[in-house]
Amino acid sequence: MNIFRLCGDMTHLLSVVVLLLKIHTIKSCAGISLKTQELYALVFATRYLDIFTHHVSLYNTVMKIIFLGTSFTIVWYMRHHKVVRQTYDKEQDTFKHYMLIIPCFALALLIKTKFTPLEVLWTFSIYLEAVAIFPQLVLLQRTKNIDNLTGNYVFLLGAYRGLYLLNWIVRYFTEKGYRQWITWISGIVQTALYADFFYYYIKCWRNNEKLHLPS
């Protein structure tokens, strides 16, 4: 495992910590898209089906359990916690799940490495993760006052994807025969979706302004 992969995973973990801090400590999920969080829970549930059948490493297993557990916890908080759920911007978070799920599933049936349930669902999760941030980006654009935790959460998620790109470049040059086109192309698409957000995040940070996106 190279440094970029480790930093990517840690950034991903940190993004979850930031989000849980906002939800659990401040008891608010204002500006957070439940649609995106539900899509992430689906991503992890379909990707980590191999958790008990194929052992990669203790590190991988522990991280998988953490991502599965936290993603479902976040969804539970936003849907059922009596204080947190009242801070959810339901009227603004209008993106439809099926508009992302159906095309991703169709694509996974068409473009995959093997036609087995585990492989198709794994491929589906890769495609879905690439676009799962979409409802969150739409909600951010509609939010007038984006708080620091929400802005930092999305920034950390984008940084995690950027670090994975660097990890793939290192792996390509150091591991013989290492290629994974499905993951690479999806990863590039996923990172590109953050480009606009990054631009405004850095611009506002440099000007010492509160984060706001042009609508």
Partner 1 sequence: TMFVRRHDEL
For residues 191 and 154, give the distance between their C-alpha atoms in angstroms, rounded to a whole number. 12
In the complex, minimum distance from the CB of residue 63 to partner 1, in angstroms, rounded to a whole number:
5
Instruction: Determine what percent of the chain falls in helix, strand and coil, rounding each to the nearest 5.
Output: 75, 0, 25
Q: Which of 63, 137, 165, 193 binds partner 1 (CB under 8 A)?
A: 63
For residues 71 and 163, give the distance between their C-alpha atoms in angstroms, rounded to a whole number. 21
Q: Beta-carbon neighbour count of residue 14 at 10 Å? A: 16
String of DSSP letters for 26-88: S---TT--HHHHHHHHHHHHHHGGGTTTS---HHHHHHHHHHHHHHHHHHHHHHH-TTGGGG-
How many residues form the binding site for partner 1 (CB under 8 A)? 18
Residues 6+ apart with CB under 8 A from 183: 126, 168
Per CB under 8 A, 164 contacts partner 1: yes
In the complex, minimum distance from the CB of residue 56 to partner 1, in angstroms, rounded to a whole number:
5
Give the helix ranges, DSSP H, for 113-147.
117-131, 134-142
In the complex, minimum distance from the CB of residue 180 to partner 1, in angstroms, rounded to a whole number:
7
- Of 32-40, 49-57, 82-90, 140-148, the window that binds partner 1 (rule: CB under 8 A) is 49-57
Per CB under 8 A, 67 contacts partner 1: yes
- Of 18-26, 33-41, 53-61, 143-151, the window that binds partner 1 (rule: CB under 8 A) is 53-61
Give me the 94-123 binding string for partner 1, x by CB under 8 A, dash otherwise: -------------------x--------x-
Q: Which of 3, 21, 55, 106 binds partner 1 (CB under 8 A)?
A: 55
Contact positions toward partner 1, by CB under 8 A? 5, 9, 12, 50, 54-57, 60, 63-64, 67, 113, 122, 164, 167, 180, 183
